[in-house]
């Protein structure tokens, strides 16, 4: 099948999921066309089956805001026609579902029907999409999608609660390519980061407010008062400078390492013992899943889709948002005893393995088949 994928090309989870899905589809023989404003960060190899089409937005002094949706929908129309694309899969509703719908309408004028699948990822529903300024357009484009999927049961429930959605929402959880993470580094180069007797705690995110970065630092502060430990902070974002300042104020400068964005998170997770994810809201928590497949235990908040990924008392622990004391206590429970830590790590790996892309990809392919078969049905 010829599939166009629209996503954000950055380090955010939705872009990562879209990219990994596209690569896996291409490996299965589909022809995949990524359409976005920059080559997605995890898309290293472009081959026969993988294409990338950049959306350019010409700058014009009259515009205070450049019309990206307009440029995207035009690019979609041109690319779909040029390559005979049969199906459009948009990741993150804003503005992709809206631009996708416009492209569909324009194509229909020319007698071309291309079904659109919209995958909801989280903040497009819980944070941004729910804002009154966006809500009518988001509701409209969800209802105009041929098939809507969400990455967790929790996100589906939230969408149904917050929006007047007429379409059914199908849950297809996020996934992981387990073969990519079968890291057999005999030595994870742990010594680069910590002494033998130090535990390694890691956090990876886009450092937005919703991630509650100060909680990460405070939890680690509590941990290092009881056991020798290092904290590795991976990512870039608006909360990073404040986090650096906070760790300095708490006297943790030599124990907290800020690495910035990385394309080698598997190497970092390889030597990590515990992953912290105290988010305010999280539709799934892909970063936690990536940690777990690398045999890293998780201490997290219990919001949104996180409990579908991190199993309380088995793969790590869950606490209420903002309960730094409980998260610290839980982290110490996981880290203090070598045998306990090994058990948590092993269980994390086993549970994460259930999200293997080989189990999830057929669910998307089935959705594509169904959407494609509906091409003669006018869905407007």
Structure tokens that stand for 193 in this block:
């980061």
According to the binding rule CB under 6 A, does residue 174 interact with ligand GMT? yes
Rounded to the nearest whole angstrom, what is the least distance from the CB of residue 228 to ligand GMT in the complex? 31
The strands making up 297-301's β-sheet, listed across from edge to edge, are 256-260, 229-234, 199-204, 274-277, 297-301, 316-319
According to the binding rule CB under 6 A, does residue 102 interact with ligand GMT? no
Task: Report yes or no: 174 and 355 within 8 Å, Cβ to Cβ.
Answer: yes
Q: Considering only CA atoms, which of 85, 5, 80 is closest in space to residue 40? A: 5
According to the binding rule CB under 6 A, does residue 203 interact with ligand GMT? no
In degrees, rounded to 5, the angle at the alpha carbon of residue 254 between the alpha carbons of residues 202 and 276 is 15
According to the binding rule CB under 6 A, does residue 9 interact with ligand GMT? no
Q: Which stretch binds ligand GMT (CB under 6 A): 34-42, 73-81, 263-271, 282-290?
A: 282-290
Given candidates 12, 22, 95, 100, which one binds ligand GMT under the rule CB under 6 A?
A: 12
C-alpha to C-alpha distances, 21 to 112, 229, 307, 328, nearest whole angstrom = 25, 36, 23, 35
According to the binding rule CB under 6 A, does residue 202 interact with ligand GMT? no
Residue nearest to ligand GMT according to CB distances in the complex: 122
According to the binding rule CB under 6 A, does residue 149 interact with ligand GMT? no
Q: Which stretch binds ligand GMT (CB under 6 A): 29-37, 63-71, 202-210, 363-371?
A: 202-210
According to the binding rule CB under 6 A, does residue 122 interact with ligand GMT? yes
Q: Which stretch binds ligand GMT (CB under 6 A): 71-79, 135-143, 278-286, 346-354?
A: 278-286
Rounded to the nearest whole angstrom, what is the least distance from the CB of residue 40 to ligand GMT in the complex? 12
According to the binding rule CB under 6 A, does residue 5 interact with ligand GMT? no
Given candidates 149, 158, 247, 283, which one binds ligand GMT under the rule CB under 6 A?
A: 283
Rounded to the nearest whole angstrom, what is the least distance from the CB of residue 157 to ligand GMT in the complex? 13
Given candidates 4, 17, 176, 270, which one binds ligand GMT under the rule CB under 6 A?
A: 17
Structure tokens that stand for 349 in this block:
């790996």
According to the binding rule CB under 6 A, does residue 240 interact with ligand GMT? no
Structure tokens that stand for 46 in this block:
């472009």
According to the binding rule CB under 6 A, does residue 36 interact with ligand GMT? no
Number of residues located near ligand GMT, criterion CB under 6 A: 21
**Applying CB under 6 A, which residues contact ligand GMT?**
12-15, 17, 92, 121-123, 126, 151, 174, 206, 208, 210, 281-286
């Amino acid at each position: 099948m010829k599939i166009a994928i629209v996503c954000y090309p950055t380090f955010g989870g939705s872009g990562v999921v879209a990219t990994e899905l596209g690569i896996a589809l291409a490996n299965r023989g589909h022809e995949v066309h990524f359409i976005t404003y920059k080559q997605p960060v995890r898309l290293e190899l472009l081959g026969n089956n993988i294409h990338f089409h950049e959306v350019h937005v010409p700058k014009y002094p009259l515009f205070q805001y450049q019309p990206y949706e307009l440029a995207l929908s035009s690019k979609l129309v041109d690319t779909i026609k040029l390559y005979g694309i049969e199906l459009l899969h948009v990741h993150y509703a804003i503005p992709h579902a809206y631009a996708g719908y416009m492209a569909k309408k324009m194509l229909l004028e020319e007698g071309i029907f291309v079904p659109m699948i919209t995958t909801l990822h989280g903040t497009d529903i819980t944070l941004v999409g729910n804002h009154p300024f966006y809500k009518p357009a988001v509701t409209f484009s969800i209802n105009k999608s041929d098939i809507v999927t969400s990455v967790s049961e929790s996100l589906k429930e939230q969408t149904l609660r917050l929006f007047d959605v007429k379409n059914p929402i199908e849950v297809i959880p996020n996934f992981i390519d387990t073969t990519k993470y079968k890291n057999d580094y005999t030595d994870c180069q742990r010594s680069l980061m910590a002494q033998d007797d130090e535990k390694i705690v890691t956090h990876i995110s886009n450092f937005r407010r919703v991630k509650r970065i100060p909680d990460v630092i405070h939890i680690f502060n509590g941990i290092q008062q009881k056991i020798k430990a290092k904290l590795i902070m991976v990512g870039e974002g608006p909360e990073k400078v404040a986090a650096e300042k906070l760790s300095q104020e708490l006297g943790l400068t030599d124990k907290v390492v800020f690495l910035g964005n990385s394309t080698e998170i598997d190497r970092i997770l390889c030597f990590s013992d515990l992953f912290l994810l105290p988010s305010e809201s999280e539709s799934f928590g892909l970063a936690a899943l990536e940690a777990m497949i690398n045999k890293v235990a998780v201490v997290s908040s219990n919001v949104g889709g996180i409990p579908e990924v991190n199993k309380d008392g088995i793969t790590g622990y869950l606490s209420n948002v903002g309960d730094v004391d409980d998260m610290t206590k839980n982290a110490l429970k996981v880290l203090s005893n070598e045998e306990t830590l090994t058990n948590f790590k092993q269980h994390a790996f086993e549970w994460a393995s259930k999200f293997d892309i080989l189990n999830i990809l057929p669910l998307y392919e089935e959705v594509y088949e169904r959407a494609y078969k509906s091409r003669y049905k006018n869905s407007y």
